[in-house]
Structure 1
Amino acid sequence: MEEKHSIVVTVINRAGVLARISSLITQRGYNIENVIGAPTEDPNVYKVNFGIRGTDEQIEKIVKQLNKLIDVIKVEDISHKKNYILREYLIIKVKAKTSTRTDIFELINVFRAKILDVAKNFITIELSGPPRKVSRFIELLSPYGIQQYIRTGEIALRE
């Protein structure tokens, strides 16, 4: 069954490495749903997290191909692993009439989100947490009117 997989790729930080990885994935007909990369404790080493939709077998093939790239140190599909902490970050701008602000503030408190800005007709909020929590927060704010939002996609850290 096709599902979203979280692939963590550890690479040597060289120009073009992200382009080569992305090209390998997309040339095989897979869409990258999200990508986040950042340096590790070693500035010469980056970790790049990809969200890719496919079957277990398809993702296994991608992992094997990625492992063949020169600047790749390690590739891991962490989708079914329990020893990782997964988080996403969200910034969302919600319509906030006087009559609905109290309800929105309650949701902010329940989800332990943070208010970034309050304007006459909008509230801008940030939230970090597991992907399901972020999705649920967006879903519960939808009836109030979401002006816009952006979310990072998953980042992962081994426990």
Structure 2
Amino acid sequence: MSDITKYTISIYTENNVGLLNRVSAIFLKRHIDILSFSTSQSEIPDVFRFIVVVKMTESGVKKIVQQIEKQIDVIKAFYHTDEETIFQESALYKVKSSSLFEERQIQNMIKDSHANIVTVSPEFFVIEKTGFRHETEALRKSLAPYGLLQFVRSGRISITKEKMGISEILNTFKQQNKD
């Protein structure tokens, strides 16, 4: 049996309505759990990048990438292991303000985790932490006893360590759209 591995799938697309539903349907039909999902503008104007994190076999991820690339708005899709990428997540933590002033250890937690306070009000303060999932989760667990009012974490953002060759593909795409 093949090894189950965590893969980051990068999907370069045109920004068209309905693509997200079609891409997510590919995973849904195959009962593949998406661990993380994010999207943003890519390095090429008018081209967007979806980042999808899944755990599966390499043969399975190859099939998924092939299915994704069949979507009309998809320019190119890639998959990489954690070792082949540089990745992070961001998290925001809303904590009641009284804790910041009454519980000295909170200031130490923030400092020790390399997090930042982004806003303070009389009722609450907000901390921002960027790092690996286990780091943002550890800070969440540490803050929970002190009045954690809200918590949100982004999906993974990543870039590859090696050149993907996507820039040439995207520049060709951009040039074709101008003609």
Query: Matches of residues 138-153 of structure 1 in structure 2 within 5 Å?
Result: 138-153=140-155
Match for 1:85: what amino acid? I
Output the CA distance in 2 between the equivalents of 1:87 and 1:116: 19
Output the CA distance in 1 between the equivalents of 2:138 and 2:94: 15
Match for 2:61: what amino acid? I
Match for 2:95: what amino acid? V
* Residues 26, 32 of structure 1: 8 Å contact kept: no
Deviations, residues 26-66 of structure 1 (Å, cap 9, x unaligned): 12222333321111132221110112343444333212221
* Residues 5, 81 of structure 2: 8 Å contact kept: no
Larger Rg: 2
Look up the match of 1:45: 47
Runs of 4+ in 1 over 6 A off after TM superposition: none
Percentage of matched positions with identical amino acids: 29
Q: Could you say if the C-alpha distance between residues 78 and 131 of structure 1 is closer, same or farther in structure 2, counting changes exceeding 3 Å?
A: farther
Look up the match of 2:92: 91
Task: Name the TM-score, length of structure 2 as normaliser.
Answer: 0.74
Output the CA distance in 2 between the equivalents of 1:94 and 1:41: 35
- Show structure 2 runs of 5+ residues with no match: 162-179
- 3-state SS, counterpart of residue 63 of structure 2: helix
Query: Matches of residues 5-84 of structure 1 in structure 2 within 5 Å?
Result: 5-82=7-84, 84=85
Which protein has the bigger strand share? 1
- 3-state SS, counterpart of residue 156 of structure 1: strand
Task: Name the TM-score, length of structure 1 as normaliser.
Answer: 0.81
Output the CA distance in 2 between the equivalents of 1:105 and 1:85: 29
Output the CA distance in 2 between the equivalents of 1:145 and 1:61: 45
Output the CA distance in 2 between the equivalents of 1:77 and 1:89: 22
Aligned pair count reads 157
Match for 1:81: what amino acid? E
- 3-state SS, counterpart of residue 43 of structure 2: coil
* Residues 91, 153 of structure 2: 8 Å contact kept: yes
- 3-state SS, counterpart of residue 103 of structure 1: helix
Query: Displacement, 1:2?
Result: 4.8
- 3-state SS, counterpart of residue 60 of structure 1: helix
Match for 2:145: what amino acid? P
Output the CA distance in 2 between the equivalents of 1:140 and 1:58: 37
- Show structure 1 runs of 5+ residues with no match: none
